[in-house]
Structure 1
Amino acid sequence: MKSSRITYVFMAMLAGMFLFVFSGCSVGLPDTGTPVSTAGQKLKVYFLDVGQGASQLLVTPSGKTMLIDAGNNDKEQVMLDYMKQYHISKLDVVIGTHPDADHIGGLDKVIDQIPVETIYMPKVQSNTKTFESVLKSIKNKGLKVKTAKAGLSWDLDDEVHVDMLAPTRSYDDSNNMSAVVKVTYGQTSFLLTGDAESASEKDMIASGADLQADVLLVGHHGSNSSTTLSFLKKVNPKYAVIQVGKGNTYGHPKSAILSRLQKQGVEVFRNDRQGTVEVDSDGSSIQISTER
């Protein structure tokens, strides 16, 4: 009985915190002031090596920044080291794609240490300590979470545009609640998919959204549950990045997905083999470099 009461109190506190941080869900990106740094005339997209997890850092030509996910709980210091390495003193936008620990585990420490202007997360709860810790960090910084959902769009700077394409509706599976964003700079584009699975992919296709992108973040670390052939054909990427750790117990990426990408003529980059993958765009062409 005592254990049940403790669980009830914990859940009530977590629900209250969730309602607080999601109380400001208006659409739009505020003026972020002076750019953090100058990145030349290129959009830089870093697919950070966080092992069996996911994190992407974007720095625009004018120095605006966007962080999507932050790896697992044991990658908190790794994420802070990346922020220092890339001279990130402020994050204009942070997106936690969904509550899984391998995507938001490091977000709490990033939020604690780096000023954040705007944060988006899908409106889905989780009763984990990881999720509670992220909400606590958000609350302590006085931030209000904006709901991540299809139909949102904003200019990250004068030249870089962001469209949120998913989730298009509510799903029972938290993976399908993943925020999916398309980033466009000039004639180049990136589709960043979180752990979105086949149901979300099907709904994105049905929505009529422009899914074509030069670079695809392969969904759910290369699991068989994502990257359906119909979705892959709609995206029609030249390059794909798989965020996956060495020797992971899930067997990611799956051979069927690798074969599917190969048959479609997609060049694949992987964190487990090549470390952090950096993709630079000048608006018309793309250059890719890897850590190893």
Structure 2
Amino acid sequence: MIKRLPGALILLVLLLATAGCGSSSSTGPLLNTAQTSENTQGRMIVHFLDVGQGDSIFVQLPNGHNMLVDAGPREAGTDVVNYLKKAGVKKIDYLVATHPHEDHIGGMTAIIRRFDIDRVYMPRVTYTTKVYEDLLKGIQAEGLKINAASDGVEIINSGGLRAEMIAPNSAAYEEINNYSTVIKLSFGKTGFLLTGDAESQSEREMLADGYSLEADVLKVGHHGSYSSTSPAFLNAVRPKYSVISCGAGNDYGFPHAATLQKLRGIQLFRTDLDGDVVFETDGEGLQVSTERR
């Protein structure tokens, strides 16, 4: 049974209230833009990090800014910090916690302590765990505010570079995974769909709302669980590549055989087998490499 921590609910309300909860855009200039990773002018590099049983995606944007989507479980926090430092990161311009499960946010408190953060995005949902409460306290301690993550929020829209949230599309779900922030990331002719743990209900909503889901690279939802990657959704995305983030020998049996069957014919990478999976694009073509740390 999950221990209830009313303070987490109060703290989230305060952090959201001070930031404003409507759709927001961050297309204007950011402070301290010199504090970025190595020069990526004209290139976008998307790193799907091997964090064991969890998710973490690091994006070096072609304008020199950095985005981090999730930070894996608590025990992966130091590894994610070290990976970003090795890449020359001093500032994270966009930090996104897709939803409050520990395998996505556990390492994020370490990230907040070690890097300058410009914007934090989280869905409007509370979760009664100490890991979640610790993250909220860490955000507050650093003087940061939370921007509400929901469909229609534009993180970036500048020239050929765009990052838009296309889920969650509802205010209340029974399953926490369906609160997952889903991001469509586009640069030039290339696209990535980052789905968090969004399940079939959220997928149906994205389809019903008429979003353009087509992308070259699909981050497969919910670590390859049968609960995600419905046939209609996969047909709409039509990816050339797919990435499953999961831990070797995990207790959930991820990825499930049913999902692997659906992905037949699509080039598949798995962090449990391939380690870190890195895509690089100039907006025209894609190059992919893998590395085990």
Q: Which residue of 2 aligns with 1:218?
A: 220
How many residues were matched structurally? 282
Deviation per CA, 1:113-152: give whole Å up to 9, x if none: 1111001100000110110011011101111101100011
Deviation per CA, 1:22-69: give whole Å up to 9, x if none: 111351225314241312421000001100000000001221110000
Secondary structure at 2:263 match in 1 = helix
Deviation per CA, 1:211-262: give whole Å up to 9, x if none: 0000000000000000001000000000000001111011100111111110
Q: Which residue of 1 aligns with 2:132?
A: 131
Q: Which residue of 2 aligns with 1:236?
A: 238
RMSD in angstroms over aligned alpha carbons?
Answer: 1.4
Q: Which residue of 1 aligns with 2:25?
A: 28
Task: Determine the C-alpha separation between the residues in 2 that align with 1:289 and 1:268.
Answer: 12
Deviation per CA, 1:144-179: give whole Å up to 9, x if none: 101100011132655421111000102121100000
Q: Which residue of 2 aligns with 1:288?
A: 288
Q: Which residue of 2 aligns with 1:195?
A: 197
Secondary structure at 1:63 match in 2 = coil
Are 2:7 and 2:133, in contact at CA under 8 Å, matched by a contact in 1?
no
Q: Which residue of 1 aligns with 2:255?
A: 253
Q: Which amino acid is the alignment partner of residue 32 of structure 1?
A: L
Are 2:5 and 2:130, in contact at CA under 8 Å, matched by a contact in 1?
no
Are 1:62 and 1:157, in contact at CA under 8 Å, matched by a contact in 2?
no
Deviation per CA, 1:189-231: give whole Å up to 9, x if none: 0000000000000000000000000000000000000000100
Calculate the TM-score normalised by the size of structure 2. Answer: 0.93
Task: Determine the C-alpha separation between the residues in 1 that align with 2:258 and 2:91.
Answer: 40
Q: Which runs of 4+ in 1 moved over 4 A?
A: none
**Structure 1 spans left out of the alignment, 5+ residues:** 1-6
Task: Determine the C-alpha separation between the residues in 2 that align with 1:227 and 1:251.
Answer: 16
Task: Determine the C-alpha separation between the residues in 2 that align with 1:150 and 1:85.
Answer: 33
Q: Which residue of 2 aligns with 1:107?
A: 108
Calculate the TM-score normalised by the size of structure 1. Answer: 0.93
Are 1:192 and 1:216, in contact at CA under 8 Å, matched by a contact in 2?
yes
1:79 corresponds to 2:80: yes
Q: Which amino acid is the alignment partner of residue 279 of structure 1?
A: F
**Structure 2 spans left out of the alignment, 5+ residues:** none
Are 1:64 and 1:156, in contact at CA under 8 Å, matched by a contact in 2?
no
Are 2:281 and 2:287, in contact at CA under 8 Å, matched by a contact in 1?
yes
1:13 corresponds to 2:7: yes
1:95 corresponds to 2:78: no
Q: Which amino acid is the alignment partner of residue 8 of structure 2?
A: L
Secondary structure at 1:22 match in 2 = helix
Are 2:54 and 2:104, in contact at CA under 8 Å, matched by a contact in 1?
yes
Are 2:169 and 2:202, in contact at CA under 8 Å, matched by a contact in 1?
yes
